[in-house]
Structure 1
Amino acid sequence: CDGIAYQTILGGEAPLRPEAVLLAECTDLDVYRGHRGRMEITVTVRGTSCHASAPERGENAIYGMVGIVRGIEALNARLADDAFLGRGSVAVTRIDGAGPSLNAVPDKCTIFLDRRLTAGETRASALAEIEAVVAEVGARAEVEVLVHRAEGWTGKKVEMEKYYPTWTLSEEHPAFTAALAAAGEALGRPAKGSRWTFSTNGVYTAGLAGIPTLGFGPAKEEYTHSTGDRVSEEDLFRSILFYALYPGHYVRGATR
């Protein structure tokens, strides 16, 4: 669950407030300063179960979901775009249809949505768009944001709503300019600024807690969580050098 560890550490019983957060996620040795937000949403359609030998006696929840799925596919094509962060997106990633048995019409169908939020999109606006799709179809449906619940090895229980805000760090922020300087020294060439396509723990540190956040690390984003995941030894060495140099550049920049 993105950011839940940071939420527990920084927002717990003894909260901490760092001046800045540096994420060691892969950036291909560029300095990243933001990414799209993310939500996990469910849509549940209710129907009426009956014996499948006479399906007309009931209301099939899966059939009720078909129009919603098509509407969400169409919604994805018209979501907002941003020059830096990219386009918002929505995808159906799972569908569950539940009935008493395989020879009964299902009275419940749930789809799971991965919603990526670009600049200007919010929790409220994203939910309103899905609810509008449901209303247009005319289905009996509930739209909800998922909640992640977990229990640690000590027995401590934590939970976090699966809404992770969009965030960016200004190009003029001292934490970012210090990172460009440190990266340039570590790499022996000018460093570039960019952003992630995927999501990171920055959704909590920057998106929810408002702490200036940026990232630098080895490896290409396209390899992450794939069978081809890899990192070069040279890039790993350059990243270690960057992490050693960055605090000095940050402190010197902050005291100017």
Structure 2
Amino acid sequence: RLLVGETMESVIKPLQELAQKLMENDPQMKIKVSYSVGKEKCYTGNIIEGERFFPGWLYEKDDEFTKIAYEGLKSVGLNPEITQYSFCTNGSHYAGEAKIPTVGFGPSRENLAHTIDEHIEIEQLIKGTEGYYGILKSLYKK
């Protein structure tokens, strides 16, 4: 997990410098510092590959895109709270790297996401669908 404003270079550079010093002190030591690479096969059979770098991102509560999404949720009777996720999402790429306005919204509880017992109740699914509709409707007006 990274902090807002950290870059690939700013994160890896101090580690590379430390590795270089250690190798200078011990010529037998060989250290390579790099990001791990993820390689996955898609349902289409295509292979996607990329460095595993997930930048932090944050919008202020008064950010225009955040306000639009918030109002969209309110418009369908939901009572959203503007907060943050405690886990990584694809928003790291879209907001953090591609600079595409992004918000996180989900119908269930955060502590259930990506767990063995992950589940969702039908009522939550229906409200989630309404929430996504509200966000899209609100964005469409703009």
The one of 145, 158, 163 equivalent to 2:35 is: 145
Amino acid at match of 2:40: A
Amino acid at match of 1:197: S
Gaps of 5+ in 2: none
Richer in helix (by share): 2
CA distance in 2, matches of 1:182, 1:153: 33
Q: Are 1:126 and 2:2 counterparts?
A: no
- What do residues 154-187 of structure 1 show as CA deviations (whole Å, max 9, x unaligned)? 5533321111222223433333112211222334
Amino acid at match of 2:109: K
Displacement of 1:201 in angstroms is: 0.9
Amino acid at match of 1:143: V
- What do residues 6-59 of structure 1 show as CA deviations (whole Å, max 9, x unaligned)? xxxxxxxxxxxxxxxxxxxxxxxxxxxxxxxxxxxxxxxxxxxxxxxxxxxxxx
Partner of 1:70: none
Paired positions, count: 137
| Residues 243/155 of structure 1: CA separation in 2 closer, same or farther (3 Å cut) | closer
With the length of structure 2 as denominator, give the TM-score of the two structures.
0.77
Displacement of 1:199 in angstroms is: 0.8
The one of 169, 179, 194 equivalent to 2:59 is: 169
- What do residues 191-247 of structure 1 show as CA deviations (whole Å, max 9, x unaligned)? 211111111111221122111111211122212222332323332221111122222
Divergent runs of 4+, >6 A: none
User: Quick one: higher RCO (CA 8 Å, sep 6+), 1 or 2?
Assistant: 1
Amino acid at match of 2:98: A
Displacement of 1:118 in angstroms is: 0.9
Amino acid at match of 1:120: G
Displacement of 1:121 in angstroms is: 2.2
CA distance in 1, matches of 2:100, 2:68: 16
CA distance in 1, matches of 2:78, 2:90: 29
Richer in strand (by share): 1
Displacement of 1:133 in angstroms is: 4.7
Contact 1:117 1:165 in 2 (8 A): yes
With the length of structure 1 as denominator, give the TM-score of the two structures.
0.47
Contact 1:151 1:157 in 2 (8 A): yes
CA distance in 2, matches of 1:228, 1:187: 28
| Residues 188/225 of structure 1: CA separation in 2 closer, same or farther (3 Å cut) | closer
Larger radius of gyration: 1
Q: Are 1:219 and 2:108 counterparts?
A: yes
| Residues 130/192 of structure 1: CA separation in 2 closer, same or farther (3 Å cut) | same
| Residues 193/154 of structure 1: CA separation in 2 closer, same or farther (3 Å cut) | closer
CA distance in 1, matches of 2:139, 2:64: 7
Amino acid at match of 2:92: V
Contact 1:218 1:235 in 2 (8 A): yes
Equivalences for residues 169-248 of structure 1 within 5 A: 169-189=59-79, 191-248=80-137
Gaps of 5+ in 1: 1-115
Displacement of 1:125 in angstroms is: 2.2
